[in-house]
Structure 1
């Protein structure tokens, strides 16, 4: 059974027509299911747990990347749950674009085609999951990889722990099903007018389990482009934890 979760922002009247078209197309394609129009008062974890208890096996985020990530984050105890997305409203839509999912009504046809792929999840501190990336901007930190070695940048850098794609460096895209994180350490480029942000190649390595410890006092990281967490933290890969509905034009 499909369960569609509509982002609270889609209650705004400027999105009513688009939402109505999406609902009609869902019905026409025979992929109708339960609809939940989320509000700021909803406890998303409770709502998703209740949906799964009632038999839902495919959870669809109708909204932006943040909603998809929030739904995925509460699925620690539900391996192999199928996730999909209808990008609608206000972005970002970087994750959906990387998965090859078109925006709005066209995404319904992608859902109906039901092209499924196994997808790794990242788990933070053995609790919440994430889909794409953890990013740390302009901080000094020690990065322990698989309890075997440490990486310690010599100066403040932009460090990305990546399962899929970086919101700050979207040219770097990784397979989300290889059982590994990619770690990219982007040094601060010289401030010369002819240098661009991507002019200096990052240091790159891979690992399954990573612990990050700050070296210059209290520091934070950004998860999937919007959620702020404090360092230190430990994250590890849960291989093939999700199943995603993807499009033919996926980028990885």
Structure 2
């Protein structure tokens, strides 16, 4: 059974026509299924887990990048295939996965071309893309209990990547989500100038691969952002969970395409 999770974005009237066309295409291709919409009475976790318990073998998140991250965290512990239908252009994860917008994504889903990918985990949260960390002088990052890394500047861009950090900058940082490791990236940046609040990259990133990264701070508690959706306070541990999810992908994706396979 296919299970479609509609986030609150789908309730916007501007998407009514798209959803109608999309749902018709799902029926035409024989991959329609149960649809549940986010409401004030049930959250994403309740809706998706109920769908899986009732026999869903494929869970499709319909919405935006926030929807994607939320659904990944819920689906991660279960042995189901995961897919994503972006409703609006500009989705960073859609580009990473090679998924076109709305109705066009349905044709990609119907082919069921999947990648088996690692996920990262921090606290109670799974993540597909990356963690974003503050470049505070107090930050300490211990990799595989072997060595410790600290930022050298408060303008550093610090990310812990699984598939990549595609949300916090127009310049994405990508990694291989099938290599069994996280990637700690520290990218030097400088302020854009007196009239700009933006920063720009100033040199090559330092990259530290690790299966486990202990995150701590010597002073006040710091917040680690989980793809701009969740947050975890220090001290905490980020670790890799190998081959944790099967995810549907399309052509032209930014992800490594060496390990894809058609599945039924």
Give the TM-score of the pair, scaled to structure 2. Answer: 0.87
Correspondence 1:4-153 to 2 at 5 A: 4-78=4-78, 80-89=79-88, 93-125=91-123, 127-140=124-137, 141-153=139-151
Q: Look up the SS of the partner of 1:30 in the other structure.
A: coil
Deviation (angstroms), 1:191:
5.2
**Pairing partner for 1:200 from 203, 207, 210:** 203
- 1:145-201 per-residue CA deviation (whole Å, 9 max, x = no partner) reads 1111111223323210001121224432111111111111122326569x9712321
Distance 2:76 2:106 in 1: 27
Gaps of 5+ in 2: 256-264
After TM superposition, give the deviation of residue 7 of structure 1 in Å: 1.2
Contact kept in structure 1, 2:188 and 2:201, CA below 8 Å: no
Q: 1:40, CA displacement in angstroms?
A: 3.7
Map Cα deviations across residues 24-61 of structure 1 (whole Å, 9 max, x no partner).
11111111111112124322222222111111011000
Residues 189 and 202 in structure 2, CA contact (< 8 A), matched pair in contact too? no
**Contact 1:100/1:250 (<8 A) preserved:** yes
8 Å contact kept, 2:2–2:57: yes
Q: Is the 8 A contact 2:114 2:248 kept in 1?
A: yes
Closer/same/farther in 2, CA of residues 208 and 30 from structure 1, 3 Å limit:
same
Distance across 1 between alignment mates of 2:67 and 2:90? 10
Higher mean C-alpha displacement, 238-247 vs 135-144: 135-144
More divergent stretch after superposition (158-167 vs 227-236): 227-236
Residue of structure 1 equivalent to 2:181: 180
1:238 aligned residue (219, 237, 241): 241
Question: Which consecutive aligned stretches of 4+ in structure 1 deviate over 4 angstroms post-superposition?
Answer: 190-193
Instruction: Please show how residues 147-162 of structure 1 align to structure 2 within 5 Å.
Output: 147-156=145-154, 157-162=156-161
Contact 1:119 1:239 in 2 (8 A): yes
> Are 1:2 and 2:2 matched, yes or no?
yes
CA distance in 2, matches of 1:108, 1:75: 20
The alignment covers a number of residue pairs equal to 248
Q: Is residue 116–residue 243 contact of structure 2 (8 Å, CA) maintained in 1?
A: yes
Rounded to whole Å, the distance in 2 between the matches of 1:77 and 1:182 is 22
Q: TM-score, normalised by structure 1?
A: 0.91
> Over residues 204-226 of structure 1, what are the superposed CA-to-partner deviations in whole Å (9 max), with x where a residue is unaligned?
11001111112342321221233
